[in-house]
Amino acid sequence: MVAVRLAMGAIDVPLRWVQRRLGIGGMATFFLLPNMLIFGIFVLLPFFINFAYSMTGGTALFLPDRTFVGGEQYARLFDCVNYTDPNSCAEDTFWTAVGNTAWFVVLQVTLMILFSLITALILNRELMARSFWRAVFFFPVLLSPVVVGLIWKWILQRQGLLNFGLYGLGFDPYTWLNDRNWSFAATVGVSIWAHMGFYTLILLAGLQAIPKDLYEAAEMDGTRPARAFWRITLPLLMPNLLVVVVLVLIRAVQIFDEVYVLTGGGPGISTLYITQYIYETGFATQLRNPGLAAAASILMGAVLVVLTLVQLGLGRKGEKKGARK
Amino acid sequence: MSRVAEFIFRRRGRNGWHWTDVFTWVWLIGGLFIMFGPAVWLVGSSFKSPAALAEFPPSIMPYVTQKATVEGYDKPLDLYEVTMPEGSKKVLAEVRRIGIVAQMVSPDKPTEIVKVNIAERTPVRTMSFATSNYSEPFTHFDFVRYLWNSVFVTVTATVITLIVNSMAAFALSKYEFRGRTFAMLLILATLMVPLSVIMVPLYSIISALGLFNNLWGVILPTVATPTGVFILRQYMLTIPDELIDAARMDKASEWQIYWRIVLPLTAPALAVLAIFSVVWRWNDFLWPLIVLSRKELYTLQVGLSVYSGELNVQWHFILAMTVVTMIPVVLVFIFLQRFITTGIAGTGLK
């Protein structure tokens, strides 16, 4: 502590000189500078370079060494005979990944919202040891995706806990992660398991902010609980619910870590999602193609922006509707 | 508040059980098993020997077959409890097995070989915790190094995050200057630029700076977190400007105001950000996976994923190291859960 205090005192001397030169207002720039510098170099710069990257070809790493190809990478991504069949495309893995991701998003977002809403409603009841139960559902949120992936890989493998349980019920052991459909279901289930508690917490905060006299008034009017739920709870929870939907959607589109450890995109490419496609095209395969990966990542970024805007637009409409009722 | 909840799912009749009551407890108890079960199973499995891990059906507790050294045999032999033809039970050691018949000897009479049908014997087993699963990776493999790399990345990134973000938050909350709103919007807009969208060009920038295969290449891109700036700024806005004006009267420099007045008052928000940052950086995976390709630079997460992806997975080591990787986060969960839950409920950050 003494060392820190001395260091800070020592820094103060040159900084007083800086302050005399810049003036008090100028010190704002000084305080903002480190964050903005890191930000500019590691977020904004790559964001803009990405567009240039997506218009170049070859395997060279640095932008000046790359050849300009215009919209060729995009043309390659969209080169399909029949857009409903990924196999008819030049980049069939890209479209398979897009299709997988779309299915994943639809299923995972629906189930995630459903489960976290139910859990939040239950945790909002008068419960014994409520903070304990909240902790139970929140616990996996802090685990690293790698740990989550490994825990479930261990449970779903042939000698795993799931087969043990089913064996007790008279079923034969099965290698779940070698089955296309089951491994897809596993990625959906595991990602819900890992993140549900986070969204439950946001919804629970929303539920607890609903003024209770509304319910008392409804009770006096003889409103049934189910009706109170649809007419009071749900409309007043809408802002939180929308935040959750946007967050779940955005994260679901980018799913990577847990799945990469759990299935590695397999069997085959049945659980290959779009981020893994970008990662493998850009870095991991023998025939790496950073330009193509950049083009794909820009398309994904565009989808993310559109999804957010649509959700925000819907949210505004929904709020107005709710207010009118 | 709980009366609200009670109303939504109130019990029909004070003493009876409404279906919602039953549903609640089924959901909670089910949740307990599904949420905690897998982690408990992981910890239990991590103490099993490789032989016990390969067993099916698996045992709940870690058991090993007892062995005995028998005169005339080099290696210790597995012990079995055998039901003899006349009905008595005897403990014998297995010499070898041919099909369904095992040749066994009594440890007291090593010369006399008894032939036993394998259906008539059960292994003698004792509970034993294979602590070597934990000690071996630390002595024979690079896990100490991975652990050190992870700790280094987490601590350094968190310290830099706290300093850099609090400085920016101070500027954005306590100064009037042109472009302040623009800077704030710019920071918030980058919430929409996730790593997966910019990883290809970011990789080229990191390489151009010579930070490929360097732990600093993992640390630097993560430290200017928009969420960090945001929560610290919101908190600093509540600090009265009079305090700062008074300090200026007393000839405090702007740096002293930041360091001696504003930072100490922001301590609660800094604590929340520190906790989040530690969890974020400890758990980071995709970016370290891209930047670090040399084995000795792996963080725990990358090391674990690489070892578990190998053809011949040594599950007994992987499970134990997964538990080690879990420990800091579980400690944070146990002791600091309150900070995190209020942090999430208040700002919706993760």
Q: Tell me: the pLDDT tens digits for A177-211?
A: 888 889 999 999 999 999 999 899 889 888 888 88
Residue numbers in B near A35 (CB within 8 A) = 164-165, 167-168, 187, 224, 229
Q: Mean pLDDT lowest for which of A58-72, A133-147, B52-66?
A: B52-66
Q: Which amino acid, residue A170?
A: G
A9-13, A215-219, B160-164, B272-276 — which one is most confidently predicted on average? B160-164
Of B5, B304, B350, the CB nearest to A146: B304
- Chain A: closest CA distance from residue B89 (Å): 28
Whether residues B39 and A143 touch (CB distance < 8 A) is answered with yes
The CA distance from B91 to the nearest CA of chain A, in Å, is 29
ipTM: 0.85
Backbone phi and psi for residue A179, each to the nearest 5 degrees, phi listed first: -105, 130
B/e letters for B317-346, b = 16+ CB within 10 Å, e = fewer, are bbbbbbbbbbebbeebbeebbebbbebbbe
* pLDDT of the residue at A92: 82
CA distance B319 to B328: 16
Asked whether the predicted pLDDT for residue A253 surpasses 80, the reply is yes
Q: Which residue has the higher pLDDT, A114 or A91?
A: A114
pLDDT of residue A319: 53
pLDDT given at position A325: 36
Does any CB of chain B come closer than 8 Å to the CB of residue A228?
A: yes
What is the per-residue pLDDT for A324? 40
Q: Which of A122, A147, A297 sits opposite B200 (nearest CB)?
A: A297
Contacts A208 to B, Cβ<8 Å = 1
Contact A233 B8 (CB under 8 A): yes
Write the pLDDT tens digit of every residue in A149-168. Answer: 999 988 888 777 887 788 87
Chain A positions touching B285 (Cβ under 8 A) are: 144-146, 257, 260
Q: B204: which residues sit within 8 A by CB, 6+ positions away?
A: A49, A53, A61, A62, A63, A290
B41 touches chain A (CB under 8 A): yes
Check residue B218 and give its pLDDT. 92
Is residue B248 within 8 angstroms of chain A, CB to CB?
Answer: yes
Q: Is the Cβ–Cβ distance between A124 and B1 less than 8 Å?
A: yes
Q: How many CB atoms lie within 10 A of CB A214?
A: 16
Q: Are the beta carbons of A46 and B345 separated by less than 8 Å?
A: no
Average pLDDT over residues B5-10: 50
* pLDDT of the residue at A93: 86
Express each pLDDT in A212-246 by its tens digit: 888 888 888 888 888 888 888 888 888 888 888 88
Give whole-number Cα distances, A303 to A246, A253, B34, B177, in Å. 12, 9, 33, 35
The average pLDDT across B118-122 equals 75
- Do the Cβ atoms of B122 and B90 come closer than 8 Å? no
Q: Is A198 on the interface with B (CB under 8 A)?
A: yes
Crossing angle of helices B315-347 and B267-283, in 10° steps, is 150
Report residue A132's pLDDT band, with 50, 70 and 90 as the boundaries: confident
> B24 CB near a chain A CB, below 8 Å?
yes
The reply to whether omega before B57 is within 30° of 0 (cis) is yes
Inter-chain CB proximity B290 and A283 less than 8 Å: yes
Does A17 touch chain B if contact means CB atoms closer than 8 Å? no
Tell which wins on pLDDT, A117 or B315. A117
Q: Which residues of A touch B36 (CB under 8 A)?
A: 136, 139
Chain B contact set for A256 (CB, 8 A): 196, 286
Q: Return the residue of A nearest to B251 by Cα.
A: A16
Contact yes or no for B213/B294 (Cβ under 8 A): yes
Q: What is the mean pLDDT of residues B335-350?
A: 68
Q: Which of B8, B56, B283 sits opposite A173 (nearest CB)?
A: B56
- pLDDT value at residue B275: 87
Residues 140-169 on A with a CB inside 8 Å of B are 140-147, 149-155, 158-161, 163-164, 167-168
Interface of B with A in 165-224 (CB under 8 A): 165, 167-168, 170-172, 175-177, 180, 183, 186-187, 190, 192-194, 196-205, 207-208, 220-221, 223-224
Q: Is a pLDDT exceeding 50 seen at residue B42?
A: yes
Q: Is the pLDDT of residue B295 over 80?
A: yes
Whether B100 contacts chain A with CB within 8 A: no
Reported confidence tier of residue A117, pLDDT bands at 50, 70, 90: very high
Confidence band for B168, pLDDT divided at 50, 70 and 90: very high
Minimal-distance CA residue of chain B relative to A256: B286
Cβ contact, residue pair A201, B344, below 8 Å: yes
DSSP label at B142?
S
Nearest CA distance, A162 vs chain B (angstrom): 10
Query: Measured between CA atoms, how close is B163 to chain A, in angstroms?
Result: 9
Report whether pLDDT(B81) > 80.
Answer: no
**Do the Cβ atoms of B123 and B80 come closer than 8 Å?**
yes
pLDDT score of B16? 62
Query: What is the separation of C-alpha A229 from the centre of its chain, rounded to a whole number of angstroms?
Result: 29
Arch. (CATH architecture) of B134-347: Orthogonal Bundle (1.10)
The residue to which tokens 């944070």 are assigned: B332
Residues of A within 8 A of B6 (CB-CB) are 125-126
Nearest chain A Cα to B202, which residue?
Answer: A46
Q: Give yes or no for B329 touching A (CB within 8 A).
A: yes
**What confidence category does residue B166 fall into, taking pLDDT thresholds of 50, 70 and 90?**
very high
Q: Are B27 and A43 in contact (CB < 8 Å)?
A: no
Confidence class for position A323, pLDDT limits 50, 70, 90 = very low
- Per-residue tokens: A261: 């450890």
Question: Mean pLDDT for chain B?
Answer: 82
DSSP assignments along B45-113, one per residue? HTTS-HHHHT-SSPPSS-EEE-EE--TT-SS-EEEEEEE-TTS-EEEEEEEEEETTEEEEEETTEEEEE
Residue of chain B whose Cα is closest to the Cα of A120: B5
- Measured over the CA atoms of residue A106, residue A109, residue A111 and residue A113, the dihedral's sign is negative
8 A C-beta contact, residue A308 and residue A250: yes
Question: Mean pLDDT throughout A259-271?
Answer: 87
Contact flag B172-A32 (C-beta cutoff 8 Å):
yes
- Indicate the residue of A63, A145, A147 with minimum beta-carbon distance to B204: A63
Check pLDDT > 80 for residue B11. Answer: no
Q: Rounded to whole angstroms, how far apart are CA atoms B46 and B55?
A: 14
**Mean pLDDT value of segment B79-95:** 76
Walk me through the domains of chain A, giving residue ranges and CATH numbers. Answer: 2-53 (no CATH), 73-324 (1.10.3720.10)
B63-127 CATH, one of 2.30.30, 2.60.40, 2.40.30, 3.40.50: 2.30.30
Of B24, B187, B253, the CB nearest to A12: B253
The alpha-carbon gap from A50 to the nearest alpha carbon of chain B, in Å, equals 6
pLDDT at B263 over 70: yes
Half-sphere exposure of A226 (CA within 13 A, CB side): 1
Which residues of chain A neighbour B326 with C-beta distances below 8 Å?
Answer: 143-144, 147
What is the nearest CA distance from B244 to chain A, expressed in angstroms?
Answer: 12
Arithmetic mean of pLDDT over chain A: 84
- Closest chain B residue to A165, measured at CA: B57
Cis bond upstream, residue B62 (ω within 30): no
Across the interface, whether the CB atoms of B325 and A198 are under 8 A apart is answered no
Q: Which helix or strand (DSSP H or E) is residue A312 part of?
A: helix A290-324
Q: How far is the alpha carbon of B62 from chain A, nearest alpha carbon, in Å?
A: 14
Highest mean pLDDT among A188-202, B20-34, B46-60, B190-204: A188-202
Q: Determine which of A164-178, A233-247, A248-262 has the lowest per-residue pLDDT on average.
A: A164-178
What would the two tokens of residue B82 be? 């055998």
Does residue B10 register a pLDDT over 60? no
Neighbours of B77 (CB within 10 A): 21
Which residues of chain B are within 8 Å of residue A177 when distances are taken between CB atoms? none
Nearest CA-CA distance, residue B72 and chain A, Å: 36
More confident residue, B334 or B343: B334
Taking CB atoms and an 8 Å cut-off, how many pairs form between chains A and B? 320
